[in-house]
Amino acid sequence: LDGLNMEGAKYVCSPPPRDVDSQEACWEGLQQDVFSVFSSDHCPFRYDDSQGKLTPKGRTSFRWVPNGIPGVGARLPILFSEGVMKGRIDINRFVAVTSTNHAKAYGLYPRKGTIAIGADADIAIWDPEIRQVLTHSMLDDGSDYTPYEGLELTGWPILTMVRGKVVVCEGKLSADKGVGTYLPREISSYA
């Protein structure tokens, strides 16, 4: 098998990448509130690494290729570009499926998932005019590739705040290590 193109190993994941009809059904599910959250399994394996996708066994058979792909860093920009900017969902639905509904599911609402008096000021500000071609170098995910390499996106986050403090500005991380805190949770509003 020496010399065979193993690029397909980058896309081994569950569920597998979907055909166009299935993708459209997923968009309809987001539009019609069939799905309440938009998330990522984010199970990254490095590609060209003896512990990653191309393990010695993985080089001999696809059944030995580790299952999972990186995705959390590209998740929101792709949904914003493909969903909001292409008119498939509105900005309110984007916020609901990426923030508010997650906070409700995990019993953190209304401290998280909303902009309101008394809530933590966890805010991401997007510039809908920025056009980017997604490359792995733009992501901090510990992997050595992105399955979305070369995807043209419209709209990009320019500032992120956690509890009212800027932690990312124009792609530069400025958060101190260890600023996360334990949050006691309530029973989920979905329970």
What's the pLDDT tens digit per position in 23-65?
A: 999 999 999 999 999 998 889 899 988 889 988 888 888 889 9
By C-alpha distance, which of 170, 89, 85 is closest to 124? 170
Residue 124 lies in a domain: yes
- Other CB atoms within 10 Å distance of the CB of residue 152: 9
Lowest mean pLDDT among 4-8, 103-107, 121-125, 151-155: 4-8
What is the model's pLDDT at position 4? 52
Of residues 176 and 1, more confidence is placed in 176
User: Does residue 189 belong to any structural domain of this protein?
Assistant: no
What is the C-alpha separation between 53 and 140, in angstroms, rounded? 18
Residue 123, domain member (yes or no): yes
Length of the chain: 191
Which domain covers residue 85, as residue numbers?
Answer: 13-173
Residue 1 belongs to a domain = no
Q: Is residue 53 part of a domain?
A: yes
Could you tell me if residue 181 is inside a domain?
no
Q: Domain holding 96: CATH number? A: 3.20.20.140
Categorize the per-residue pLDDT at 3 as very low, low, confident or very high, splitting at 50, 70 and 90. Answer: very low
Q: Is 182 among the domain residues?
A: no
Give a yes or no: residue 161 inside a domain: yes
Number of domains in the chain: 1
